[in-house]
């Protein structure tokens, strides 16, 4: 156990839960932004729904990976981490 009171397994589980929560909230937010105009104005997209969802999913995945990478990097280089 470390100063926070969590062992490595608990830390990994907590990180996984935070990552899943971020994934769900980001996906719902992006899908809402993407689909509301189509529903609101009853228009048909010019590209297929599969293409839109693929581009959206790729962007969300890259945002998630980048956020987790920067979070881990800033956490490991924090002055508090070295105490």
Distance CA 37, CA 47 (A): 15
- Residue 83, pLDDT score: 45
> Virtual CA dihedral for 69, 74, 76, 82, nearest 10 degrees?
180
Quick one: pLDDT at residue 79? 60
Query: Is residue 53 a part of any domain in this protein?
Result: yes
State the residue range of the domain holding 35: 8-82
Residue 70 belongs to some domain of the structure: yes
What is the value of pTM for the model shown?
Answer: 0.48
Residue 20 and residue 3: Cα distance in Å, rounded? Answer: 25
- Asked if residue 34 belongs to a domain, the reply is yes
The residues near 30 (Cβ < 8 Å, ≥ 6 apart) are 56, 59, 60
Q: Would residue 17 count as lying in a domain?
A: yes
Residue 62 forms part of a structural domain: yes
The pLDDT averaged over each successive group of 10 residues in the chain (83 residues) is 68 87 83 79 79 83 86 70 49
Domains held by the chain: number: 1
Q: Is residue 1 part of a domain?
A: no
């Amino acid at each position: 156990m470390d100063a926070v009171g969590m062992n490595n397994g608990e830390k990994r589980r907590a990180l996984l839960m935070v990552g899943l929560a971020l994934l769900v909230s980001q996906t719902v937010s992006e899908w809402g932004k993407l689909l509301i105009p189509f529903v609101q104005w009853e228009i048909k997209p010019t590209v297929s729904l599969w293409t839109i969802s693929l581009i959206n999913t790729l962007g969300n995945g890259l945002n998630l990976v980048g956020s987790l990478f920067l979070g881990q990097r800033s956490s490991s280089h924090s002055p508090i981490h070295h105490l």
